[in-house]
Each structure stands twice: as structure tokens, then as C-alpha cells.
Amino acid sequence: MYKQRTIDSLDALKIAIQTKIDMKAYYDEAANLISNEDATTILRGLAEKEDQHRQKLIRKYRDISGKKILYLNLGKKHKLNTLKKCEDDPNDAIRAAKTNEAEIRKFYLAFSRSLFDKNLREIFRQLAMEEEQHLALLESSFEEPLNLNEDQEERHTLREMASSDRTEMKSW
């Protein structure tokens, strides 16, 4: 279970906004590490989704508080300190992204359970569902063992060799 400190709903929304900012930057950085076009497309798509979700949360914050967020400069109080930084190794970066998505999801679910306001509770449940979708996409797109360090041409050559070996075996 996620250890929850006492925070109000506006602070929780600020934390959610900050996680969206952090994860967008994370996915942008991870995409720059990988040379595989399919992988970078997936990571850039996740970065774009994080930015869209951030914008929605800023509107929700404005609607609830009556205040506009012109920029977000939050201290440690509004960050999930359990999130991992993007690793230099592409394989480790993907693994850490999966861990981060799971951690963010746990936070959203734990916080949603503590809310009395039905609308806010629904917002955080929806956020948890979005993180679950991100995690499912990462899991299905990047299965273990990861081989993101290999050059694309090398992988293509290995696949050709493997398929020609199967063809030769069938001809016996």
C-alpha cells in the first residue's frame, strides 16, 4: 500500500500536474536514447498524452480553486519522490518507466480512496486508469528481455538468419 501523507485536494492536483510534467520530460528523454523508430514513436506518443493530461488537470485546478496556474514551480512537497530518473541505458529507461507508471497509479488510487468529494474521487480514479493504460502499452510494446541497445540492422540480420535456419530445418 502507498504511504499517504495528509494532503488536501488542491495539493494532490498540483502533485498530479507535476507528475505529468515529470513523465513528459522522462518520455522525451527516453525517446532520445532509442534508435528504433517504433519505440521512439511509442515514447513520444506517451509524452504527448502526458502533456494533454497536464493541460486537463490545470483546467480542473482552475475550475476547483478559481486560480490560474501560469507556471508550476513546485517544491519537494509536490513531487512524488519515489519516481525514478531516466537511465542512460535504453533498457533500464524502459524498465524505470514501467516502475514509474505503476508508482503514479498507486498514488492516484490511494488518494482517490481518501476523498469525500465524488467529483475529485472520480478525477483521481480516471488518472489511475490512464496510468494503467500507459503501463499496459509499455508492457505490451517492450517485452522482456529488452534488446534496445542492439542496432536495427543487426537485429534484422539476426531475424533473417533465424528464418533461413527454420526453412533449412523444414526441408529435411
Tell me the percentage of the chain whose pLDDT exceeds 90.
44
Residue 30 pLDDT class (50, 70, 90 cuts)? very high
Q: Residue 83: what residue type?
A: L
Confirm if 27 and 141 have CB atoms less than 8 A apart: no
> For 66, left (φ over 0), alpha (ψ -120 to 50), or beta?
left
**Which helix (H) or strand (E) covers residue 51, if one does?**
helix 37-65
153-171 residue pLDDT tens: 444 454 555 555 544 444 3
Three-state helix/strand/coil letters over 81-105: CCCCCCCCCHHHHHHHHHHHHHHHH
**C-alpha cell belonging to residue 116:** 469525500
**Which residues lie closer than 8 Å to 12 by C-beta, 6 or more apart?**
111, 124
Task: Please report, for the chain, the start and end positions of each structural domain, with discontinuous segments joined by +.
Answer: 9-170
Query: 9-170, what's its fold?
Result: Ferritin (1.20.1260)
101-148 residue pLDDT tens: 999 999 999 988 888 888 888 999 999 999 999 999 999 998 877 777
Residue 108 to residues 60, 94, 120, 136, Cα–Cα distance (Å): 15, 21, 11, 17
Phi–psi pair at 136, nearest 5 degrees = -65, -40
CA distance 127 to 53: 9
Tell me the percentage of the chain whose pLDDT exceeds 70.
76
Q: The pTM is what?
A: 0.77
**C-alpha cell belonging to residue 57:** 488537470
